[in-house]
Amino acid sequence: MRIMHVALGGCLKAPPVSYGVTEDTGGHIAYVLGAALAQARRPETREVTIVTRAFSDPRLDPVHSALHEDVAPRCRILRLRTGNSGYLAKEALEAELPALQDAFLRMLRQGDLPDVIHAHFADAAVLARAAAAEFGIPWLYSSHSLALDKCRAQGGTPDAATARRIEREAAAIRNADAIIASSRDEAECQIPAYDPTAEGRVHRVGPGITAPRCDDLDPARRLIAPFLRDMSRPILLAVARPIAKKNLAALIRAYAGDAVLQDRANLVIVAGLRDGLAGGCPEQDRIMAEMFDLIDRHDLWGRVALPRRHTHADVASLYALAAQGGVFVNPALHEPFGLTLIEAAQAGVPLVATRNGGAADIVASLGAGALVDPMDPAAIASGIRSMLDDRQGAAHAAARARKLYSWDRWADAVQGIMAGLRDSAPTIRDPRGMLASDIDGTLTGCRDGAARFADWAAGRDAGMVLAVATGRSICEARRVLRLWDLPRPDVMITSVGTEIWRWDDGATLRPCADYARLIGAEWRRDAIVEALRPLGIERQPGHDQRAFKLSFFGNAADRDRIEQRLAMAGLPARVILSHDRLIDVLPAPAGKAAAIRFEATRLGIDPRSCIVAGDSGNDLDMLQDFAQAIIPANASAELDGVTDALRSPLPHADGVLDGLERLGHLHPLMMAAE
Summarize pLDDT for 86-118 with one digit per residue, the tens: 999 988 999 999 999 999 999 999 989 999 999
Confidence category of residue 276, pLDDT binned at 50, 70, 90? confident
Mean predicted confidence (pLDDT) in 419-440: 87
Considering the entire predicted model, what is its pTM?
A: 0.84
* Least confident among 424-428, 557-561, 595-599: 424-428
Task: Give me the CATH topology for the region 423-518+590-672.
Answer: Rossmann fold (3.40.50)
Residue 85 pLDDT: 94
Measured between alpha carbons, how far is 586 from 575 in angstroms, rounded to an integer?
6
Task: Give me the CATH topology for the region 2-204.
Answer: Rossmann fold (3.40.50)
Pairing of strands 491-494, 499-503: antiparallel
Confidence category of residue 579, pLDDT binned at 50, 70, 90? confident
218-404: CATH superfamily: Glycogen Phosphorylase B; (3.40.50.2000)
CA distances from 349 to 71, 232, 318, 325 (A): 31, 17, 10, 8
Residue 361 pLDDT: 84
Residue 616 pLDDT: 93
On whether the CB atoms of residues 464 and 501 are closer than 8 A, the answer is no
Check whether 205 has a pLDDT greater than 90. Answer: yes
Measured between alpha carbons, how far is 168 from 243 in angstroms, rounded to an integer?
23
Mean predicted confidence (pLDDT) in 419-445: 89
Convert the pLDDT of each residue in 107-149 to its tens digit.
999 989 999 999 999 999 999 999 999 999 999 999 998 988 7
Convert the pLDDT of each residue in 598-635 to its tens digit.
999 999 999 999 999 999 999 999 999 999 999 999 99
The CA radius of gyration of the chain, in Å to the nearest whole number, is 27
Residue 673 pLDDT: 39
The three-state secondary structure class of 178 is strand
Measured between alpha carbons, how far is 640 from 646 in angstroms, rounded to an integer?
12
Convert the pLDDT of each residue in 483-495 to its tens digit.
999 999 999 999 9
On whether the CB atoms of residues 53 and 80 are closer than 8 A, the answer is yes
Q: Which residues pair with 235 in a beta bridge?
A: 266
Residue 505: how many CB atoms within 10 A of its CB? 12
Confidence category of residue 156, pLDDT binned at 50, 70, 90? low
Residue 423 pLDDT: 76
DSSP string, 379-437: HHHHHHHHHTT-HHHHHHHHHHHHHH--HHHHHHHHHHHHHHTTPPPP---S--EEEEE
Amino acid (1-letter code) at residue 97: L
Residue that wins the pLDDT comparison between 157 and 212: 157
Convert the pLDDT of each residue in 235-255 to its tens digit.
999 999 898 889 999 999 999
3-state SS, one letter per residue, for 117-130: EEEECHHHHHHHHH
Convert the pLDDT of each residue in 317-375 to its tens digit.
999 999 999 999 999 998 878 888 999 999 999 999 999 888 888 898 899 999 999 99
Residue 313 pLDDT: 86
Measured between alpha carbons, how far is 454 from 153 in angstroms, rounded to an integer?
43
H helix or E strand, kind and range, residue 610:
strand 610-613
Average model confidence (pLDDT) for the chain?
92
Check whether 82 has a pLDDT greater than 90. Answer: yes
Mean predicted confidence (pLDDT) in 467-486: 95
The three-state secondary structure class of 501 is strand
Residue 282 pLDDT: 85
Mean predicted confidence (pLDDT) in 265-293: 88
The reply to whether domains 2-204 and 218-404 share a CATH topology is yes
Confidence category of residue 671, pLDDT binned at 50, 70, 90? very low
Confidence category of residue 154, pLDDT binned at 50, 70, 90? low
CA distances from 589 to 561, 575, 585, 586 (A): 21, 12, 12, 8
Residue 211 pLDDT: 67
Give the angle subtended at the CA of 568 by the CAs of 562 and 569, to the nearest 5°.
90
Give domain limits for the chain: 2-204, 218-404, 423-518+590-672, 526-536+545-586
Confidence category of residue 210, pLDDT binned at 50, 70, 90? low
The share of the chain scoring above pLDDT 90, in percent, equals 77
Q: In what order do the strands lie in the sheet with 582-586?
A: 550-553, 582-586, 574-578
CA nearest 176: which of 376, 482, 418, 382? 418
Confidence category of residue 670, pLDDT binned at 50, 70, 90? very low
Residue 516 pLDDT: 97
